[in-house]
Chain A
């Protein structure tokens, strides 16, 4: 697609969304047989599979930490996921994304419960359509929960961008290509930011609005993540307030 004259016409974006609308999002928890936890996510045109293995033994052994588990995160794009074939294997972009995504999730994983072990998160981008790193984090978060890894909460992520001088939520590929800023944000359930990157051009005032928009977007995604887990496990397993277990009964 060549650069369209306008990316916003009469307040509507080219795919018909308003500035605050996200693309369609569908989480499915527990879709892989061998992985301890998994999640398939369609986020607009992104198709993302996340799998979690562990806690398990650490190889190579020198990476072990005697007091806590280590979290490893691999963001990998399939060669067929983009318009021009991507050379397979890690490049500098995916190494950076893996690093910041791991850091976005690590803080909510209760690593201290599993000393000397590894929790491996693998994210495969099967089809990429702008915002694949935030899609990866969203899927990985659900996959970690599906694996039964003790977590303080889920992590939700979304990107905000600027097109035609307007700050809008969740850019699609064309908007990303012809837009002038991209701000991927991840947030935990306590409203704390766990991932924050930006490139492009934003004034301080625009940035403030963009961040507020991302926070609202993350809250909506969090609800969808919770729904996906409820759907798989049949009941609301993430009460907003932890209930004390009475009389030592187990809550099956």
Chain B
């Protein structure tokens, strides 16, 4: 991704606002932009969601099909997560094979779903060693206005909650909801000077030296983490982010309540 060019004056503006306890769009440091979650937006998919965080917009589709299990886990289903930064989502995205930032977003989204044990993979075995369900989670970014990480992660779990195992299609009986054990939620923070801001906007994300994504499960324990970017964080800053992330995740998780 060629980087968005940021005027020095904008950088100074964001830093000096943060030093005064303020943000360009008037939010509090720990305040998200308005979040909307819709599910069932793609009929052809086994599960789908459209998540908006402010103007950032992603669509996640889940497809399932029977396939061969990995030899070392003959009785468990398989998760495959992909994320595309399609050129329609930003002037800085180009077509072609996924670049490292897209791969990182996909792998961190995958880490949250996998490590929290969100999907009960033991229930996705069709025939031991021969056939298991493969769960394909595909994230399409439609509009990149900052904080893709949280949007992708929220979209993935929303789409999974919406997913029906397509037994009928493959002559395996009735369709049933995908068995889920947990609801992992990612919360991303950046450091601007001494301030820690959640849900970075596009400009904030571009001027921040680095960002830290913390994925927590419904008990508030950590399931995954990723620092991204050249900058540094002190151990105390990281501990602080972990603390507010697990609190904030509960607020985000409310957006997923009642979804099926």
B250 CB to nearest A CB, Å: 13
Given A193-B235, A197-B227: A96 and B242 within 8 A (CB)?
Answer: no
Q: Which residue of A lies closest to B112 (CB)?
A: A199
* Cβ of B238 under 8 Å from chain A: yes
A38 CB to nearest B CB, Å: 24
Contact, CB under 8 Å: B223 / A199: yes
Contact, CB under 8 Å: A201 / B212: no
Q: Which residue of A lies closest to B101 (CB)?
A: A99
CB neighbours of A99 from chain B (8 A): 100-101, 103-104, 228
Contact, CB under 8 Å: B224 / A204: no
* Cβ of B165 under 8 Å from chain A: no
Contact, CB under 8 Å: A204 / B103: no
Given A95-B103, A99-B100, A204-B221: A199 and B234 within 8 A (CB)?
Answer: no
Among A13-21, A132-140, A205-213, the stretch that binds chain B is A205-213
Cα A209 to Cα B123 in complex, Å, equals 35
Specify which of A95, A106, A193, A202 is in contact with B222 (CB 8 Å cutoff): A202
Q: Which residue of B lies closest to A93 (CB)?
A: B107
Contact, CB under 8 Å: B238 / A198: no
Cα A106 to Cα B228 in complex, Å, equals 12
Specify which of B220, B226, B232, B234 is in contact with A197 (CB 8 Å cutoff): B226
Cα A99 to Cα B102 in complex, Å, equals 11
Given A192-B232, A196-B233, A199-B111: A92 and B103 within 8 A (CB)?
Answer: yes
A195 CB to nearest B CB, Å: 6
* Cβ of A58 under 8 Å from chain B: no
CB neighbours of A212 from chain B (8 A): 235
Q: Which residue of A lies closest to B220 (CB)?
A: A204
* Cβ of A103 under 8 Å from chain B: yes
* Cβ of A225 under 8 Å from chain B: no
Contact, CB under 8 Å: B221 / A100: no
CB neighbours of B228 from chain A (8 A): 99-100, 103
* Cβ of A98 under 8 Å from chain B: yes
CB neighbours of B229 from chain A (8 A): 103
* Cβ of B186 under 8 Å from chain A: no
Contact, CB under 8 Å: B221 / A202: yes
Contact, CB under 8 Å: B104 / A207: no
Contact, CB under 8 Å: B232 / A215: no
CB neighbours of B210 from chain A (8 A): 103
* Cβ of A194 under 8 Å from chain B: yes
- Digitize A164-199: 1 where CB-to-B-CB distance is under 8 Å, 0 elsewhere: 000000000000000001010000101111111111
* Cβ of B115 under 8 Å from chain A: yes
* Cβ of A4 under 8 Å from chain B: no
Most chain-A Cβ atoms within 10 A of its Cβ — which of B107, B115, B227?
B227
* Cβ of A203 under 8 Å from chain B: yes
Q: Which residue of B lies closest to A182 (CB)?
A: B115
Specify which of A98, A181, A194, A211 is in contact with B100 (CB 8 Å cutoff): A98
Cα A103 to Cα B212 in complex, Å, equals 13
Contact, CB under 8 Å: A215 / B225: no
* Cβ of B239 under 8 Å from chain A: yes
Contact, CB under 8 Å: B230 / A107: yes
* Cβ of B231 under 8 Å from chain A: yes
Can you list 16 A-B pairs, Cβ within 8 angstroms, ordered by A? A93-B107, A99-B103, A100-B228, A103-B227, A103-B230, A107-B232, A193-B227, A193-B238, A196-B226, A198-B222, A198-B225, A199-B223, A199-B225, A202-B222, A204-B220, A212-B235
Q: 17 extra interchain contacts, Cβ-Cβ under 8 A, other than A197-B227, A211-B238?
A: A99-B104, A100-B104, A103-B228, A103-B230, A106-B230, A181-B222, A193-B238, A196-B226, A198-B225, A200-B115, A200-B223, A201-B222, A202-B222, A203-B220, A204-B220, A204-B242, A207-B222
Q: Which residues of chain A have a CB within 8 Å of any CB of chain B?
A: 92-93, 95-96, 98-100, 103, 106-107, 181, 183, 188, 190-204, 207-208, 211-212, 215
Q: Which residues of chain B have a CB within 8 Å of any CB of chain A?
A: 100-101, 103-104, 106-107, 111, 114-116, 210, 212, 217, 220-235, 238-239, 242-243, 246
